[in-house]
Structure 1
């Protein structure tokens, strides 16, 4: 028998409750909806009374940003799938903290994938995510900081690293290898494409289908058909022919 996941929907618009509720009923039968909330205050009360395992949380609500929900829980005992109709800034913060989000209008397959990932985490009785939520809180204040920590989930746990310490990110099939300035490499079970729009805000550039490079760590560009970059750690990264012109514009 499929394990049921006690869940709630938090959104200020009734139509979004109705749409998401129907999608979950139709395509995610393992989701058991135990309540609806239309504000952060209502969500806090509902979570305390119903103890859901999973919260579908809208970000932009008239009475308060959805992120403030975490201010009410010292150690959240639930997983979160964010929902939003816009706000790339907020999406960046979510992705850095390795949490899931769904962009409205919600895609059925993305919904199913997000629910499946949450189910796997819950089935393993994942340890406390308080540190991860703290990173999320910090990342929502990006405009006040030059850099912020990125939570990188690997098979060994979660590494919290400053973005300016990352030299490059290499695609490795469905994984991504993050290389730090101290020689450490962290393998994350997400494809490079998931990180591309996020890392660009930290002066990263995709120089090749298999590589994104932190331009702040570039020591030299060596000419060639596409050429290659030499980074501060001495590593060489090839540049694709089609990326060469755009790269040189950024470097000069």
Structure 2
């Protein structure tokens, strides 16, 4: 069984999550403790050494992110639960961590549990959480590293190393300036949301490009040429928005 701790200041939210886990995942979870604060959660983690933590972000005295300063080494996975805070959600996504929006539904919960179970036994928890705290502490416009989920785990890539991203069904290919291509197990829409908005632009249903590597735009052919010589199509609907973005970036 998966040993888990729930940390949430709302008793009703604790109980609802526990009941949902019991109903849709019978005999899979052992909720060893439910806590209503970061401080009680820290004690529970040290006492029980759980495999998984369901952690609320917004709590009165200390928010969920403060919990990690009490641990030199993180040996548990985390699924965040939150009702709002878009910046926090973006930072979580960039760090390849899971989150659930309240009110939690069983479909989203099932997907998060599946991802937890499919993870490599060599836990990436420490790296992911360190990256999360880094992403929370930097200006949203200048995030340097992004963790892209892959089949093996996740790939850390500096945003300024990315030429463009291309949709491949439900996956996304990330073309780097060194010529290497990495495949993220997420859609292009997901990847677009976690990239720095000031530098990356959706120019086609299948492409998001880094504006810093644009060399020229051929209006007749509706193609943009990048520094590596590749030409990427620009859709009619995205053309005006793309041109405005290029002019504003000068």
Q: Same fold (TM over 0.5)?
A: yes
> Who is 2:235 aligned against?
240
1:10-43 Cα distance to aligned partner (Å, 9 max, x none): 1111121122122212122222211111111111
TM-score by length of 2: 0.91
Residue 8 in 1 paired to residue 5 in 2?
Answer: yes
TM-score by length of 1: 0.90
Number of aligned residue pairs: give it: 246
State the SS of the aligned residue for 1:220.
Answer: strand
> Who is 1:167 aligned against?
163
The answer on whether the counterparts of 1:163 and 1:202 sit within 8 Å (CA) in structure 2 is no
State the SS of the aligned residue for 1:92.
Answer: helix
Cα deviation for residue 49 of structure 1 reads 0.8
Instruction: Supply the distance in 2 between the matched residues of 1:118 and 1:220 (Cα, whole angstroms).
Output: 44
Instruction: Supply the distance in 2 between the matched residues of 1:32 and 1:156 (Cα, whole angstroms).
Output: 27
Task: Give unpaired runs (5+ residues) of structure 1.
Answer: none
> Who is 1:36 aligned against?
34
State the SS of the aligned residue for 1:179.
Answer: strand
Instruction: Supply the distance in 1 between the matched residues of 2:72 and 2:165 (Cα, whole angstroms).
Output: 33
Query: In the alignment, which of 8, 19, 23 is matched to residue 16 of structure 2?
Result: 19
> Who is 1:91 aligned against?
89
Instruction: Supply the distance in 2 between the matched residues of 1:15 and 1:201 (Cα, whole angstroms).
Output: 37
State the SS of the aligned residue for 1:140.
Answer: helix
Task: Give unpaired runs (5+ residues) of structure 2.
Answer: none
Residue 152 in 1 paired to residue 148 in 2?
Answer: yes
The answer on whether the counterparts of 1:151 and 1:161 sit within 8 Å (CA) in structure 2 is yes
The answer on whether the counterparts of 1:82 and 1:100 sit within 8 Å (CA) in structure 2 is yes
State which drifts further: 145-154 or 31-40.
145-154
Structure 1 outlier segments of 4+, above 6 Å: none
Q: CA RMSD in A?
A: 1.9
Distance 1:156 1:219, change over 3 A: same
State the SS of the aligned residue for 1:130.
Answer: helix
Distance 1:131 1:66, change over 3 A: same
> Who is 2:74 aligned against?
76
Instruction: Supply the distance in 2 between the matched residues of 1:120 and 1:157 (Cα, whole angstroms).
Output: 9
State the SS of the aligned residue for 1:125.
Answer: coil
State the SS of the aligned residue for 1:201.
Answer: coil
Instruction: Supply the distance in 1 between the matched residues of 2:100 and 2:220 (Cα, whole angstroms).
Output: 42
Residue correspondence of structure 1 range 1-252 to structure 2 within 5 A = 4-29=1-26, 30-121=28-119, 124-143=120-139, 146-155=142-151, 158-224=154-220, 227-252=222-247
